[in-house]
Amino acid sequence: MIKTIDGAIRVAMADLYYLKRNILTVLITVLVLPLLYFISFAYGLGSTVDETEGVTYIAFVIPGIISLSTLSSCFSTTANKIMLQRRFYSSFDEIILCPVSSISVVLGKSILGIIRGLLCSTVLIVLGLLMTDDFLITPMLLITILLSCLTYCLLGVVAGFLVKGVPTFNLFNSLVILPMTFLCGTVFSVSAMPSFLQVIIAFLPLSHTTNCIRSAALGWEFPWISLVLIIIYGLLFLIVSKYLLDKGRV
């Protein structure tokens, strides 16, 4: 365990140096998207919608935006960085060539994404606390945010390993990430959707992270099944990326 984490940090060092050099630009890019979501949904839409699922719209939507931004910032940071290092800098070869276990490589490549996801969530949590009294910080909120960051970073690792270049990366984005962003009950309740779509939506990981984060933040009964599903998704992405690495498909 300690060896795995030690290896992961060694793998992450180059990304951390990058972060240190570009901390300002990283912060700005991390914050723009969630703030735009916040302004357009919480203020724009919020003023026209009264209550959703028994709470004010603003209290309903902030946990959704947190969930959404963990997906978008963790996934794109991780997948982009790996694609760049594999296809354009070939510096990923250096990582393959080093005597560090493949689990460490996969986790190490997730660290930059997790940091960005957490930065982004922190800002949104502060906004949530300021904007509405319904929003609570609970241990489960922090745990689910961390878990969803990790899960989406691992998805980013899988995508980064699979894509052949920018076109396939965009394809993955349009076919997997974008539909999730719009469908999974982040900014409006899933109950408004046609029932066949609800079935599909129930399988997507973002539905479950949204569900967990919202319940934890609003003090609703915690959906343990969703938490288990998030963990299963995370493990699945971990296994797939380890497999790709071990088989030399990267």
Partner 1 sequence: MIHIDELVIKYGDFVAVDGISLDIQTKGIYGFLGPNGAGKTTTMRALTTLLKPTSGSITIQGLDAIKDMQEIRKRIGMVQQYISLDKEISVRENIICHALLHKVPRKEILSRMKELSLMLGLEKYMDKLILDLSGGWRRRTAIACALMHRPKILFLDEPTAGLDTQSRHILWDIVRDLRDSGTMVFLTTHYMDEAEALCDHIAIIDGGKIIAEGTPVQLNNLIGKVAVDFERGGKVITKTFASRDMAKEFISENIPEDSTYSLRKTTLEDVFLELTGSGLGGVVDD
**Binding footprint of partner 1 on the chain (CB under 8 A):** 10-11, 13-14, 17-18, 21-22, 85, 89-100, 248
Contact 12, 104 (CB under 8 A): no
Residue 48 phi, psi dihedral angles, 5° rounding: -100, -10
Instruction: Tell me whether residue 96 or residue 232 sits nearer to partner 1 (CB atom).
Output: 96
Instruction: Tell me whether residue 195 or residue 247 sits nearer to partner 1 (CB atom).
Output: 247
Q: How far is the CB of 93 from partner 1 (least distance, A)?
A: 5
Cα angle vertex 93, ends 91, 96, to 5°?
Answer: 130
Q: How far is the CB of 56 from partner 1 (least distance, A)?
A: 43
Q: How far is the CB of 195 from partner 1 (least distance, A)?
A: 45
Instruction: Tell me whether residue 5 or residue 98 sits nearer to partner 1 (CB atom).
Output: 98
Contact 129, 122 (CB under 8 A): no
Residue 51 phi, psi dihedral angles, 5° rounding: -130, 145
Q: How far is the CB of 92 from partner 1 (least distance, A)?
A: 8
Instruction: Tell me whether residue 85 or residue 121 sits nearer to partner 1 (CB atom).
Output: 85
Contact 100, 182 (CB under 8 A): no
